[in-house]
Amino acid sequence: MQEGKNRKRFIFRFYVIMLACIIVFNLFIIPSIEEARIREVGYNQFISMTVSGEIEQVEIQDNRILFTDHNGNIYETGIINDPLLVERLVASGANFAGEIIKETSPILSFLLTWVLPIVVFFFIGRLISKQMAKRGDANSMMFNMGKSNAKVYVKSETGIKFDDVAGEDEAKESLAEIVDYLHNPKKYEEIGAKMPKGVLLVGPPGTGKTMLAKAVAGEANVPFFSMSGSEFVEMFVGMGASKVRDLFKQAKEKAPCIVFIDEIDAIGKKRDGHIGGNDEREQTLNQLLTEMDGFEGNTGVVILAATNRPESLDPALTRPGRFDRRVPVELPDLKGREEIIKVHAQKIKTEPGIDYTKIARMASGASGAELANIVNEAALRAIRQGRKRANQADMEESIEVVIAGYQKKNAILTDREKMIVAYHEIGHALVAATQANSAPVQKITIVPRTSGALGYTMQVEEDNHYLLSKEDLQNKIATYTGGRVAEELAVGSVSTGASNDIEQATKLARAMITRFGMSDEFGMVALETVSNQYLGGDYSLACSTETQSQIDELVVKVVKEQYEKAKRILTDNKAKLHELAKFLYERETITGEEFMQIFNGE
Ligand code: ADP
Ligand code: ZN
């Protein structure tokens, strides 16, 4: 809609300007060009030129005399009552020309100077209009190059309020101050306080950073400009900086307002000294810094930016006066997850009596976006089964779908494989349940998933743990090894099924030594540093090669110890292991309650 209007306005302007050009050209420029060719001289010069025989041609008009010399210059002089004129001219050998300035026929000249240009420009206009329509939002880049494509969402359009963002109470609290400021900037000016110009929303993907930014705009009832960092450095080389300029120009006109820059790390990465680095990105970043410094603290433009790798940002961006406030937007905890699921469940039809706490418990570690997806999957599952409302089972199944991939209906395990998988999964669960501090099992299935996992154990944490003790970690490692131990005890050989467990166990053991200071050998020495904290985390070693090999030995020792522990546990509970594995093998699914019943020998 908006585009169509813009296009029409543009084409209209194009026609007006072209018409004005044609009028000016015909009325003023062409005549003045013609006149410029004619030199006006006095009558006495005309006479002297006649006498000296310099005149080539002469034409006597009603109000003037036109004549040319031998070089083709045209002259003009006034008429004076001079009876001897003709005689003198004849004597000087001048020709009496019919027409010195050739007049074209008036119709032809009208066609050439008026009709033709108008027709030509009309067709050009049509052509441009069509091209623009075809290119759609590309916003007729030919004419608009460098215009920022920040979208303006005026209040009614975002419509998102803090209430729509479930959980994230801490983040909302810090942002509430910004909303208050946008409502009432005077209050802050009076006391002499400056609002932060930029606020950085930091957290893993899908935790609702974009939503929060929109909610700030929605709460404060101000326009919302959003732009993605990667858009700044897209397509047009050299356009990033001018886009930033334009974005801020628009924002200042609309102040108070919110400018939201998603994925700011795309432009804000640390600048390094490398020659031939990404100049485009650097220019864009520099422009952003300039713009941020350029406006005063209280203009009413608040910039919110989101990133999931804060540590990769250029320090210039995060220094005071720029993005100096940082709001962490973390993965939701149990309560947060429950609220998010409820918010999204309101948008679909559900059966009454759904236990949202249980679902939230089962979906531990899921982000807001994943939870939204889980609810949607539940609705889809209800439709597939011909029901009008989603129920508890839909929700539970869709957690597994979102987290573990769809059930693979046609993957067939051989009997022996199925048995091995059953022992493997029960091994994990039994070790976990035996160790007091480990989380109980919610459900185990040995139905293969498209994600490639042959079985799936859902461990549920009763409460949120923020601190894990050394024993907790050791028990976790023991649980990881439990699968392999059970295979060994049951069938006397080992399979490839434990590769992921091995990876996880090794990671944990290594972290205990290098980052958590849980080894007697090294104590509280940091041997690894973390980067990309919010994207799974990359670790880089910060020690000498000799130390590295020592670490490796220690990791092996830790994992081996826990493997032995798991072996002891399962050997002591061998009867239970067989009983549980048989149950799982036959039913393919075992719930936490069934598991605990057998485990407790009821
Ligand atoms: P981010 O910008 O952090 O990657 P988004 O704000 O784009 O995440 O969130 C993606 C989607 O996830 C949202 O559209 C919303 O449906 C859902 N979502 C995420 N967090 C929440 C939350 N706290 N409350 C409600 N919905 C959420
Ligand atoms: Zn396993």
What mean pLDDT comes out for the span 299-315? 84
Q: Which of 425, 462, 488, 594 is catalytic?
A: 425
User: What digits encode the pLDDT tens for the residues 326-370?
Assistant: 888 888 877 888 999 999 999 999 988 889 988 887 776 788 898
User: Is the pLDDT assigned to residue 156 strictly greater than 50?
Assistant: no
Report whether pLDDT(269) > 60: yes
Answer whether 117 contacts ligand 1 (Cβ < 6 A).
no
Band of residue 570 on the pLDDT scale cut at 50, 70, 90? very high
Give pTM, 2 decimals: 0.59
What value does the mean pLDDT of the chain take?
Answer: 81
Report whether residue 482 contacts ligand 1, using a CB cutoff of 6 Å.
no
CA 452 to ligand 2 centroid distance, Å: 12
286: exposed, middle or buried (C-beta count within 10 Å: 0-12, 13-18, 19+)?
middle
Report pLDDT for 143: 43
Q: Does residue 168 line the site of ligand 1, with CB under 6 A?
A: yes
Per-residue model confidence (pLDDT) at position 533: 64
Q: Is the CB of 340 under 6 A from ligand 1?
A: yes
pLDDT (tens digit, 9 = 90+) per residue, 469-523?
899 899 989 999 999 999 999 988 888 888 889 999 999 999 999 989 998 888 8
Listed residue (463, 401, 472) closest to 436, CA to CA: 472
375 lines ligand 1 (CB under 6 A): no
> From atom 6 of ligand 1, which residue's Cα is the shortest distance away?
208
pLDDT of residue 224: 85
User: Across residues 143-167, what is the average pLDDT?
Assistant: 64
Whether 594 shows a pLDDT value over 80: the answer reads yes
Q: Angle CA(31)–CA(33)–CA(34) in degrees, nearest 5?
A: 65
Q: Give the residue from 220, 316, 296 showing the smallest Cα distance to 260.
A: 220
Residue 33 scores a pLDDT above 80: no
The answer on pLDDT for 151 being more than 70 is no
| pLDDT at residue 279 in the model | 72
Which residue in this structure is represented by tokens 């693979």? Answer: 408
**Which ligand 1 atom sits closest to the C-alpha of 204?**
3
CA of 432 to the centre of ligand 1 (A): 33
State the closest ligand 1 atom to the C-alpha of 212, by its place in the atom list counted from 1.
6
Query: Model confidence at 383, in pLDDT bands (50, 70, 90)?
Result: very high
> How far is ligand 1, taken at its centre, from the CA of residue 401, in Å?
19
User: What pLDDT is recorded for position 404?
Assistant: 66
Residues 6+ apart with CB under 8 A from 450: 405, 406, 407, 408
| Closest ligand (CA of 337) | 1
Position 463 scores a pLDDT of 57
209 lines ligand 1 (CB under 6 A): yes
> Contact, 74 vs 101, CB < 8 A?
yes
87 is a catalytic site residue: no
Tell me what pLDDT residue 148 has: 55
* Range among 17-26, 376-385, 466-475 rated most confident: 376-385
Q: Which residues surround ligand 2, an ion (CB under 5 A)?
A: 483, 501
Confidence of residue 139 (pLDDT cuts 50, 70, 90): very low
